[in-house]
A and B are shown apart, each in its own frame.
Chain A
Amino acid sequence: MKRTLGTRTEINNPNDDVVIRVRDLHKSFKLPTEQSFGLKQAIFNRLRGIKGYEIQKVLRGIDMEIKRGEFIGIVGRNGSGKSTLLKTLAGIYWPEKGKITINGTLIPFIELGVGFNPELTGRENVYMNGALLGFSNDEMDKMYDDIWKFAELEQFQDQKLKNYSSGMQVRLAFSIAIRAKGDILLLDEVLAVGDAAFQQKCNDYFKSLKDNNQTVILVTHSMENVKQFCNRAILIDDGKILEQGDPKKIADKYLEILL
Chain B
Amino acid sequence: MYMKIPHVLNRRNRILLKELVKTDFKLRYQGSVLGYLWALLRPLMMFAILYVVFCKLLRIGGDIPHYPVYLLTGTVMWSFFTECTLQGIQAIVLRGDLLRKICFPKYIVVVSATLTAVVNMLINLVVIILFALINGVTPSLSWLLVPLSLIEIYLFSLGISFLLGSINVKYRDITSIWEVLVSALFYAVPIIYPISMVADVSATAAKILLLNPIAQAIQDIRYNLITNEAITMWGYINNPLFMIIPMAVVVTVLIIGAVVFRHKSKFFAEEV
Known: A37-B172, A119-B30, A124-B26. A92 touches B100 (CB 8 A): yes
Contact residue among A91, A114, A131 (Cβ-Cβ distance under 8 Å from B19) = A131
- Whether A38 contacts B101 by the Cβ 8 Å rule is no
* Interface status of A164 (Cβ within 8 A of chain B): no
Contacts of B269 in A (CB 8 A): 87, 92-93
Chain B 167-201 per-residue mask, 1 if CB under 8 angstroms from chain A, else 0: 00011110000000000000000000000000000
- Whether A93 contacts B270 by the Cβ 8 Å rule is yes
Interface SS of chain B: helix
Contacts of A91 in B (CB 8 A): 103
Minimum CB–CB distance for B28 against chain A, Å: 11
* Interface status of B16 (Cβ within 8 A of chain A): yes
- Whether B4 contacts A12 by the Cβ 8 Å rule is yes
Minimum CB–CB distance for A74 against chain B, Å: 18
- Whether A124 contacts B2 by the Cβ 8 Å rule is no
Minimum CB–CB distance for B22 against chain A, Å: 8
* Interface status of B8 (Cβ within 8 A of chain A): no
Known: A11-B3, A92-B103, A128-B23. A114 touches B173 (CB 8 A): no
Contacts of B101 in A (CB 8 A): 92, 108, 110-111, 114
* Interface status of A127 (Cβ within 8 A of chain B): yes
Minimum CB–CB distance for B152 against chain A, Å: 30
Contacts of B42 in A (CB 8 A): none
Minimum CB–CB distance for A246 against chain B, Å: 31
Interface SS of chain A: loop
Contacts of A40 in B (CB 8 A): 173
Known: A87-B269, A119-B31. A37 touches B2 (CB 8 A): no
* Interface status of B229 (Cβ within 8 A of chain A): no
For chain B, residues 97 to 127, give those with C-beta under 8 angstroms from any C-beta of chain A.
Answer: 97-104
- Whether B4 contacts A10 by the Cβ 8 Å rule is yes
Chain A 8-41 per-residue mask, 1 if CB under 8 angstroms from chain B, else 0: 0111110000000000000001100000011110
Determine the distance from Cα of A91 to Cα of B131 in the docked complex, in whole angstroms.
50
Minimum CB–CB distance for B39 against chain A, Å: 18
- Whether B103 contacts A127 by the Cβ 8 Å rule is no
Contacts of A119 in B (CB 8 A): 27, 30-31
For chain A, residues 57 to 107, give those with C-beta under 8 angstroms from any C-beta of chain B.
Answer: 87, 90-94
- Whether B4 contacts A11 by the Cβ 8 Å rule is yes
Interface size of A as a range: 35 or more
Minimum CB–CB distance for B223 against chain A, Å: 40
Contacts of A178 in B (CB 8 A): none
Minimum CB–CB distance for A39 against chain B, Å: 5
Contacts of A120 in B (CB 8 A): 23, 26-27, 30
Chain B 1-42 per-residue mask, 1 if CB under 8 angstroms from chain A, else 0: 011100000011001101110010011001100000000000
Contacts of A13 in B (CB 8 A): 2
For chain B, residues 54 to 105, give those with C-beta under 8 angstroms from any C-beta of chain A.
Answer: 97-104
Chain B 253-272 per-residue mask, 1 if CB under 8 angstroms from chain A, else 0: 00000000000001101110
* Interface status of A50 (Cβ within 8 A of chain B): no
Q: Which residue of chain A is the closest to B171 with respect to CB atoms?
A: A39
* Interface status of A42 (Cβ within 8 A of chain B): yes
- Whether A108 contacts B102 by the Cβ 8 Å rule is yes
Contacts of B104 in A (CB 8 A): 132
Determine the distance from Cα of A136 to Cα of B104 in the docked complex, in whole angstroms.
16
For chain A, residues 213 to 228, give those with C-beta under 8 angstroms from any C-beta of chain B.
Answer: none
Contacts of A167 in B (CB 8 A): none
- Whether A37 contacts B4 by the Cβ 8 Å rule is no
* Interface status of A117 (Cβ within 8 A of chain B): yes
* Interface status of A5 (Cβ within 8 A of chain B): yes
* A–B Cβ pairs within 8 angstroms, 17 of them: A9-B3, A12-B2, A30-B271, A37-B170, A39-B171, A42-B170, A108-B101, A110-B102, A114-B98, A114-B101, A119-B27, A119-B30, A127-B19, A131-B18, A134-B11, A134-B16, A137-B15
Known: A93-B269, A131-B18, A132-B102. 17 other contacts (CB 8 A): A11-B4, A12-B4, A30-B270, A38-B171, A40-B173, A92-B101, A93-B270, A94-B266, A110-B100, A119-B27, A120-B23, A120-B27, A124-B23, A128-B19, A132-B98, A135-B15, A136-B11
